[in-house]
Structure 1
Amino acid sequence: MIVLGVDVGGTFTDLILADLAKQKLTIHKTPSTPANPAIGVVTGLRAICEKAGIKVSDVDSLFHGTTVGTNAMLEHDGAVTGMITNDGFRDVLHIGRHQRPQHYSIMQDLPWQNRPLIRRRHRHTVAGRLDAAGVELVALDEDAVRAAARELTAQGVESVLVGFLFSYVNPAHERRAAEIVQQEMPEAFVTTSSGVAPQFREFERFTTAAMSAFIGPKVRRYIEELQAELSAQGLKGELHVMTSSGGVATPEMIAEKPASTLLSGLVAGVRGGAWIGTHAGTDRLITLDIGGTSADIGIVVDGRLTEADTRSASIAGFPVMLPMIDIHTIGAGGGSIAYLDRGGAFRVGPESAGADPGPAAYGKGGEMPTVTDANLVLGRLAPQNFLGGDMTLDVEASRRVIGKLAAQLGRSPEETAEGALTVLNSNMANAIRSRTVQKGIDPRDFTLSGFGGAGPLHAAEVAGMLGVQRVLIPPHPGITSAMGLLTADLEYHALRTAFAVKGSIDHGRLTGLFDDMQTELSDIFDRDGVPVEKRRMLREGDLRYVGQGYELKIDVPDGPLDEAALQQVWQAFHERHRAEYGHAFEAAPIEIVTVKLRGLGEVEKLGTPPEAKGSVAASPVGQGHCVFRVDDVLKSFETPYYDRSDLPVGERMQGPAILLQTDSTTMVPPNWSFEVDRFANVVMTRDED
């Protein structure tokens, strides 16, 4: 079985080919092609197959992480979208909620008002109304729906959302309206709010569905083009696409629910980090994925990827009611630009030099000082051995642009470069604190895993700022996201709104909701050809104390939901509430708001990482003067450069050291030691003071 993981980033497309039978890995990086990401995927596919000595047709499965949907949201570059909703509710998408993101700011940015996904002129209303129980109060005006669809066509709309009140209980009106719209607009992408997020809270439900409609045509078109390109190259294996919940889905499911890809590429990195951490002996991990423009932070607790709260999950400022892994992204990467703002403060990022022209070190005409230039000035990058020697860095160009900034500051180039890295690392450390300390989690109890092209350069110093004692660098840091793709199973989700209160539970109804969802997911797995013995169904529920405005997700046991089974659920909720908020109300009534079913379909994937070969003894391939801040003083160290693949396994070595490999560079500071474990991970440990 040969499987291929392909992660498309802003600068590079990363690929990893795994022959599962031989436990052989082949990696490759190729420049991304933002205008048409499929070109970069196909180029990389041909190159990595040639490198591995196989034909494209030998690949059995291709797992793909994409940023097409994410970028469409971040750049506000989606389809011209229209909406059909109930009379009197045209402005739900604009009004939002009384609870604003920043309570006391009169200048805050409200994206649903400042840059709406669906402009007001494209939002049409029709008669038709259900009550909260899903009972029809006013019949759907089908003629009005038809007229609205024709008007949307005349307005140049290419994607339509149908969103009605209480459709999460009874989707009949939405489904019928969608049928009419599809008849009138056969070329349009048509979606319903109940088909995307069948949950109560109409603003969040409508907004999530609006995202799906906004990015739907672009995502669907990309997947179709990619499939056609792959087929033309001779690929006969299945295509699977990573979703925001950490699993993969078929192209057919992605075409139906494009919003499920909103964190596709980012989630793959956290999955890869968690998988590597498990085999390295740790199930409590902070993942730090640093690329050219951004740093993505994920938390793994007890081996499970932390999921975002459905009330706080968002993309580009818009609320999302979909299963999503909790990932926090900040503008911090190798291309981040260092500058003085209008007030004279020293800043780094979020603006980036990108891939073109990129940092001055790349020799493509870049004239802005970047993090990559700062690392080069400090000797932390080997100019003759970047990308495994495929690229030579321009030291003089980096010193020139850093020198200009240094002149503004009245500092030396080395002080300026080190200051830029300190600012960047502090930004990342503060971002990690927001996901740990502010949620009652002590980061010192975790291992920090740094990956991405720039993660291994910064991981140790960020860990030092957090008091983290152990850092884990994967064998192939630059393609960890691509590797994470090869660790996922098919994963689909179903949910139903329950509104069941402890003490008055209809046990048969509650069990029936789970049975109904199981039938729904089983039908999907049947369509995908997943054998019954390779399926798992995991029950969950969103619970709250009656009167609360937020819920907590709790595991629900299999089997009939009688009083004994529900007692386990109530107790688990009390314990989770106490852990999350510091207290629990044991005597208060509990409400099951939503019941959920997570379906997993096992696919062929990576099992155990290949064991490291290593060498008998480490011999430096070079050395250079590297500058580090030690005891609050900048010092220059004669620092050895090692080829990482030549490092012996299990031998503890002392920093400072620079470890070179094709897809990344690892920096070990003074006062840190390191060794290679049996799976070729570099494990850094902070020396005791």
Structure 2
Amino acid sequence: MKRIGVDVGGTFTDFIYVDDDGKIEVYKTSTTPHDPSIGMMEGINAVCDKLGIEHSEIDEIFHGTTIATNMVLEHKGARAGMITTKGYRDIIHIARHKRPTNFSIVEDIPWQKYPVCQRRDRYGVEERVVSPNGDELIPLNEEEVRQAVRKMKKDKVEAIAVCFLFSFLNPAHEQRVKEIIKEEYPEVYISLSSEVLPQFREYERFTTTGLNAYIGPTTSRYIKQLRKTLVEQGYTANVHLMQSFGGVASAEAAQKKPVNLLLSGPVGGVLGAIWTTKLTDINNVITLDIGGTSADISVLADLKPSMKHLLDTKVGGYAAMVPMIDVGTIGAGGGSMAYIDEGGFFRVGPQSAGAVPGPACYNRGGEEPTVSDANIILGRLGTKLLGGRMEIKPELAEKAIMSRIGEPLDKNLDEAALGIIDIMNNNMIQEIEKESVRRGFDPREFALFACGGAGSLHACSVARELGMKQVVVPLNPGALCAVGLVNTDLMYDFSKTEMQLASNVDLESLKKDYASLEKKAHDRLIEDNMSEDEIVIQRVADCRYEGQGYEMRVPVIGGEVTEETIEKMKESFHIAHKKQFGRSYRQVDIEIVNIRVIGTGEIEDLEPIKIQKSSGNIEDAVVDERMVTFKVDEKPVKMSTKVYDRTKFGAGDVINGPAIINQMDTTIVVEPGCVGRVNDYGIIVIDINVEE
């Protein structure tokens, strides 16, 4: 099998090719922001041409994209309308009592300033089903529905979200509205809350469904055009897209539910980190994935990703109640711009130069100093990137740093450049502490996993400040998200609200509901051409103590749903609650709020390849030696530093800092006093000289 993973970032697009013969090829191109598919196709074609592979030979293409996320963050989605229960069209405006800044009277509330569905495009219609069984109280007024759809068609609304108050109990009214929309306005994109998120909590359900409509038309067109282009250029591969909870979906499924693609970009890096770290003797890592625009951080205790609570899954201030792996993101990347703000403070990020115009040293028109410019000045980056395909202009970096930072602060060039790096590192240190220390994890018990195009440039400094003893650098750090893509499975999540107490559970009802969700998951995977022996069905439940307002996810054993099933679920919940909050309340009844089924279509993992043993002479890998500036006793000090070609390393090689290690997709900085060791799989583990 021949697979290509493609991760589209804000500055670069990463590619990795793998096949059953152990062949691995990594490639990198600049992202084309106006149409990401252009850069993607250029890279895929370049990989095939380089390897002499026919386009039709590629079996699978795995794609991680930021197109859905960027639409939300930049407020550039489709004009979306909404049909809802009469009297409830303002739910997505009112939201909950929580605000980004509770006591500000002048702040802009994202969901109010930039609603996913404008008020003029939201229509209430007569209908009502009621709890607890979803019985119909008021019939659906179909004429009102038709009038609303016709008005939206006249106003050229591109997508319609249908959100009725109790549709999670009985979706019949929403399904009928869908039929009417197809009759009156067949070309519009349709998003039903009973299909997108059939769970209670109307605000989150309405907003999530609205987001699905808001990003649906553009995402759907992008996927369709991508598949069309692939076919026109001779590719017959299956296309899979990464989802926010760690699995990939088929192109068809992603078009129907693009809200699952939100924040999926960083997830590939987390999965790649897990796969890579298993090839070492390290069990706990914190990932530091630094790209051109942002830095993504995830705490992996025992190499297991944690899931965000569904009420904490937000994108750009909007509630998006879909499963997401817990990844923290800040605006800190190679393209992050350094500046002096109106108050005279020296800052770095979150604004980024992106791919266009990019850092000043790229010579594409950028004039603002960035982190990459600082690394160039300090000698940590060479004058050619991407394996020599991108030439760098250090003189432009010097001009930008001195004119914007050095001269205003009365600092020399090295001091100004080191200042940029220090602020950048401090921003990441604070985010790592937020994701670890504030959640009860001691970063000193973890290794720092450096990935992304810029992660290895900063990892040693960040690890030292946090008291971490080791840094792990994978074989292809700059393409790790793409590595994660080709090492994941097809995965779908189906859910239903239950609201049953464990002490008085209706076993027959629970059994029936799980069976229904399992059938949906199984059928979806069969549609994706998964065989029976490749399909794995997992049950989980969202539970809470009676009287609590928030749930926790716990596993539920398979097989017949019996009293034993409930008892084991209760025990799992008590254990999980104590682990998370330090205590459990075994005397309190447990409420089963939602049940879930996760359907997985297992795809064969990438087989790790061992590299050749060391020749015994590390000097064979030296390709250059140059002066590099490091901070020693809080002052810039230039040191003669050897530059190594990573492709010439063998298993067992030892690299003493200071050292610079070059490869096509990244540059690794081994700081003075640190020691890097190459293991059997080419992974470099750097021991940090932590000051006691």
Calculate the TM-score normalised by the size of structure 1.
Answer: 0.97
Sort the Cα spacing of 1:127 and 1:309 in 2 relative to 1 into closer, same or farther, 3 A. Answer: same
Counterpart mapping for 1:347-386 below 5 A: 347-383=347-383, 385-386=384-385
Q: Give the Cα–Cα distance (whole angstroms) in 1 for the partners of residues 612 and 633 of structure 2.
A: 36
**Structure 1 partner of 2:74:** 75
Q: Give the Cα–Cα distance (whole angstroms) in 1 for the partners of residues 275 and 332 of structure 2.
A: 24
Q: Is the 8 A contact 1:80 1:158 kept in 2?
A: yes
Q: Is the 8 A contact 2:212 2:259 kept in 1?
A: yes
**Structure 1 partner of 2:599:** 599
**Structure 1 partner of 2:48:** 49
Q: Give the Cα–Cα distance (whole angstroms) in 2 for the partners of residues 46 and 651 of structure 1.
A: 35
Q: Is the 8 A contact 1:24 1:610 kept in 2?
A: no
- Stretches of structure 2 that go unaligned for 5 or more consecutive residues are none
What SS is found at the alignment partner of 1:182?
helix
Q: Residues 504-523 of structure 1: CA distance to partner in whole angstroms, max 9, x if unpaired?
A: 11122222221111111111
Shift of 1:18: 0.7
Query: Which consecutive segments of 4 or more residues in structure 1 shift more than 4 A?
Result: 612-615
Q: Which amino acid aligns with 2:348?
A: V
1:11 aligns with 2:11: yes
**Structure 2 partner of 1:645:** 647
**Structure 1 partner of 2:153:** 153
Shift of 1:612: 5.2
**Structure 1 partner of 2:173:** 173
Sort the Cα spacing of 1:321 and 1:648 in 2 relative to 1 into closer, same or farther, 3 A. Answer: same
**Structure 1 partner of 2:674:** 672
What SS is found at the alignment partner of 1:119?
strand
Q: Is the 8 A contact 1:45 1:56 kept in 2?
A: no
Sort the Cα spacing of 1:433 and 1:612 in 2 relative to 1 into closer, same or farther, 3 A. Answer: farther
Counterpart mapping for 1:541-620 below 5 A: 541-611=541-611, 615-619=615-619, 620=622
Shift of 1:615: 4.3
Q: Give the Cα–Cα distance (whole angstroms) in 1 for the partners of residues 509 and 392 of structure 2.
A: 66
Segment drifting more, 440-449 vs 53-62: 440-449
Segment drifting more, 271-280 vs 169-178: 271-280
What SS is found at the alignment partner of 1:332?
coil
Q: Give the Cα–Cα distance (whole angstroms) in 2 for the partners of residues 561 and 609 of structure 1.
A: 43
Residue identity over aligned pairs, in percent, reads: 42
**Structure 2 partner of 1:191:** 191
1:630 to 629, 632, 645: 632
Q: Residues 28-54 of structure 1: CA distance to partner in whole angstroms, max 9, x if unpaired?
A: 112222222222222112110011121
Shift of 1:177: 0.8
Q: Give the Cα–Cα distance (whole angstroms) in 2 for the partners of residues 591 and 103 of structure 1.
A: 31
Segment drifting more, 231-240 vs 8-17: 8-17
Q: Is the 8 A contact 1:82 1:152 kept in 2?
A: yes
Sort the Cα spacing of 1:607 and 1:437 in 2 relative to 1 into closer, same or farther, 3 A. Answer: same
2:659 to 633, 637, 657: 657
Shift of 1:681: 1.1
Shift of 1:78: 0.8
Shift of 1:107: 3.6
Q: Which amino acid aligns with 2:638?
A: S
What SS is found at the alignment partner of 1:137?
strand
**Structure 2 partner of 1:420:** 420
Q: Give the Cα–Cα distance (whole angstroms) in 2 for the partners of residues 565 and 178 of structure 1.
A: 37
Q: Give the Cα–Cα distance (whole angstroms) in 2 for the partners of residues 629 and 33 of structure 1.
A: 36
Q: Which amino acid aligns with 2:246?
A: G
Segment drifting more, 642-651 vs 531-540: 642-651
Sort the Cα spacing of 1:136 and 1:435 in 2 relative to 1 into closer, same or farther, 3 A. Answer: same
Q: Which amino acid aligns with 2:689?
A: D
**Structure 1 partner of 2:109:** 110
Sort the Cα spacing of 1:209 and 1:615 in 2 relative to 1 into closer, same or farther, 3 A. Answer: farther
Shift of 1:222: 0.5
- Stretches of structure 1 that go unaligned for 5 or more consecutive residues are none
Sort the Cα spacing of 1:387 and 1:42 in 2 relative to 1 into closer, same or farther, 3 A. Answer: closer
What SS is found at the alignment partner of 1:14?
strand
Q: Give the Cα–Cα distance (whole angstroms) in 2 for the partners of residues 502 and 150 of structure 1.
A: 47
Shift of 1:613: 5.8
Shift of 1:209: 0.6
Sort the Cα spacing of 1:485 and 1:610 in 2 relative to 1 into closer, same or farther, 3 A. Answer: farther
**Structure 2 partner of 1:125:** 124
Q: Give the Cα–Cα distance (whole angstroms) in 1 for the partners of residues 637 and 135 of structure 2.
A: 74
**Structure 1 partner of 2:140:** 140
Q: Give the Cα–Cα distance (whole angstroms) in 1 for the partners of residues 525 and 690 of structure 2.
A: 53
Q: Give the Cα–Cα distance (whole angstroms) in 1 for the partners of residues 569 and 467 of structure 2.
A: 36
What SS is found at the alignment partner of 1:543?
strand
**Structure 1 partner of 2:511:** 511
Shift of 1:578: 1.6
Q: Is the 8 A contact 1:615 1:646 kept in 2?
A: no
Q: Residues 503-547 of structure 1: CA distance to partner in whole angstroms, max 9, x if unpaired?
A: 111122222221111111111122222111111111111111111
Q: Which amino acid aligns with 2:121?
A: H
Shift of 1:366: 2.2
**C-alpha RMSD over aligned residues:** 1.5
Shift of 1:253: 0.5
Q: Which amino acid aligns with 1:71?
A: N
Q: Give the Cα–Cα distance (whole angstroms) in 2 for the partners of residues 101 and 595 of structure 1.
A: 30
Shift of 1:465: 1.9
Q: Which amino acid aligns with 1:317?
A: G
Q: Which amino acid aligns with 2:221?
A: R
Counterpart mapping for 1:223-372 below 5 A: 223-372=223-372
Q: Give the Cα–Cα distance (whole angstroms) in 1 for the partners of residues 614 and 314 of structure 2.
A: 44
Q: Give the Cα–Cα distance (whole angstroms) in 2 for the partners of residues 441 and 391 of structure 1.
A: 40
Q: Would you say how many aligned residue pairs link Structure 1 and Structure 2?
A: 687
Q: Give the Cα–Cα distance (whole angstroms) in 2 for the partners of residues 258 and 333 of structure 1.
A: 26
**Structure 1 partner of 2:93:** 94
Q: Which amino acid aligns with 1:274?
A: I
Q: Is the 8 A contact 1:57 1:236 kept in 2?
A: yes
Sort the Cα spacing of 1:613 and 1:57 in 2 relative to 1 into closer, same or farther, 3 A. Answer: farther
Q: Which amino acid aligns with 2:81?
A: G
Calculate the TM-score normalised by the size of structure 2.
Answer: 0.97
**Structure 2 partner of 1:24:** 23
Q: Give the Cα–Cα distance (whole angstroms) in 1 for the partners of residues 588 and 443 of structure 2.
A: 33
What SS is found at the alignment partner of 1:267?
helix
Q: Give the Cα–Cα distance (whole angstroms) in 2 for the partners of residues 358 and 640 of structure 1.
A: 28
Q: Which amino acid aligns with 1:66?
A: T
Q: Residues 582-603 of structure 1: CA distance to partner in whole angstroms, max 9, x if unpaired?
A: 2222211111101111111112
